[in-house]
Amino acid sequence: MLPRSLSLDRAIQIAGEVTPRGAAAGREVGAAEGRLVQAGLWPNPSLELEAEDGLARNAAGFGGPNQFTATLSQPLPVWGRLGAREEVARGEIETARSELEAVRREVMTDVRLAFYRILSAAAAVSIARDGLEVADQLLAVAEDRVRSGAASEIERLRAQVERSKASVALSEAEAEYEQALVALRTAIGAPGAALDGVVGRLRGDLPEIRSEALEDAMRSSHPELAAASRRVELARAELALAKVEWLPEPEVDVGIGRVHEEDEHEVEGLLHDDHENEAVLEWGVTIPIPAFDRNQGRIAETAAQIEKARAEEGVVANRLAGELREAVVSFERARAQWSEYRS
C-alpha cells in the first residue's frame, strides 16, 4: 500500500518496482539471455530403427535373410555456426539491457516532472488562495465605501469582477493540482493509488549549466544512444551469422545391425538346418549441396539492416541533441525570469 504523501526518492523507488514499462523491458532481457543458452546448444541426434524380413524363398523353400539395424545420425554445426549464433544472442542481450536502462531513465524523468509539477501546482494554489482572500477584502472595502457614499457603484462592480477572476484562478490552480496528482500516479505505475500530495519543496536557486558539458555527457552515456549503437553491432553479428548459415552442415550416420539367415539342405538323405548370424556396421556422411540456396537473400537483408541501424543511430543522436538544446533554452529563460522576479 502506498503512502498518501510521497517524497521524490520514494516515488522513484516505487516506479522502479511496479511500473509496467520497466517490467516489460526487464522481461526482454531475460528472454534474450534464454536465447543465448539456446544458441550454444548442439542439434539433437536422431535414432532410426529398421527391421527387414526376407520374404523371398530359396531353392529349398525357406525364407531369405532377416536384418535389424539401428542408425544414429548427428548433424555437425561446423564453420563456426554456434559461435556466430551466440554472438547474435549476446548482441540481443546488450541491446535489451540498454533499452531497459533507457526505459528506467524515461520513467525517472516522468516521475520527476510529475513530482515538481505537483509542487508548482501546490504553490500556485497557495498564491491563488491568497489572491482570493485579498480580492474578498477589497470587495468588502468597496461595499463599505459605496454604502457610505464615498464611492460609486462602479467601484464595487470592479471589485466584484476582480473577486470573480481570483475565484476562477483558484479553481484552475486546484484543477491543475489534481491533474498533476494523476500524472504522478500514472508515472509510478499506480493510477488507482490514494495519493494526496508530495513531500518536498521547490528550489530557491537555479544553477548555471554548461550546454557543452551536457552534450558530451549525452553522447557518452545516454542509454538511447547506447541502445542505437548496440543495434548496429547486433546487425553486424546477424550478417556474420548469415554468411556461415549457407555453408553445408554435414550429418554423420553410424549404424550397427545383425543379419540372420536360415538355410536347409540334405546331407546323406538327412535334412540339416544352418543358421548364420552376421554383425553389420554401417557409417556415412550426408553433406547438403548449396547449388541454389546460398542464403543470398538473408545476407542482403542483414547488410541492409546494418545501414538502417546506422541511420537510426544518427536520427536518435540528432533528436536527443535537439531536445537538449531546447531544454537548455527553456531552462535559461526560466532562470532569467526567476532572477528578475527575485530582484
Give tens-digit pLDDT for 59-85. Answer: 544 455 678 889 999 999 999 999 999
> What's the rounded Cα separation, in Å, for the pair 286 and 299?
25
SS3 per residue for 51-99: EEECCCECCCCCECCEEEEEEEEEECCCCCHHHHHHHHHHHHHHHHHHH
- What is the per-residue pLDDT for 51? 83
The burial class, CB within 10 Å (0-12 / 13-18 / 19+), for 138 is: middle
From 337, 320, 301, select the one nearest 220 (Cα to Cα). 320
Look at residue 204 and tell me whether its pLDDT is greater than 80: no
CA 11 to each of CA 110, 123, 176, 186, 336: distance values in angstroms, whole numbers, following the listed order: 11, 20, 20, 11, 30
Give tens-digit pLDDT for 213-258. Answer: 888 888 888 999 999 999 999 999 999 999 999 999 999 999 998 8
- What is the per-residue pLDDT for 55? 52
What's the half-sphere exposure (Cβ side, CA atoms, 13 Å) at 34? 6
Task: Evaluate whether 106 touches 22 at the Cβ level (below 8 Å).
Answer: no
The burial class, CB within 10 Å (0-12 / 13-18 / 19+), for 167 is: middle
Task: Evaluate whether 184 touches 10 at the Cβ level (below 8 Å).
Answer: no
Mean pLDDT score of the chain, rounded to an integer? 86
Q: Above pLDDT 90, what percent of the chain?
A: 55
The pTM of this model reads 0.76
Give tens-digit pLDDT for 16-44. Answer: 887 888 888 889 999 999 999 999 999 99
Q: How many residues does the chain have?
A: 343
Look-up: residue for cell 549503437? 229
Judged by average pLDDT, the poorest of 113-127, 135-149, 197-211, 278-292 is: 197-211
Please compute the mean of the pLDDT values over residues 116-140 and round it to a whole number.
92
Please compute the mean of the pLDDT values over residues 280-287 and round it to a whole number.
90
> What's the rounded Cα separation, in Å, for the pair 77 and 268?
62
Give tens-digit pLDDT for 81-99. Answer: 999 999 999 999 999 999 9
Q: What grid cell was written down for 189?
A: 505505475
Residues paired with 283 in a beta bridge: 254
> What's the rounded Cα separation, in Å, for the pair 59 and 280?
25
From 342, 339, 341, 340, select the one nearest 208 (Cα to Cα). 339
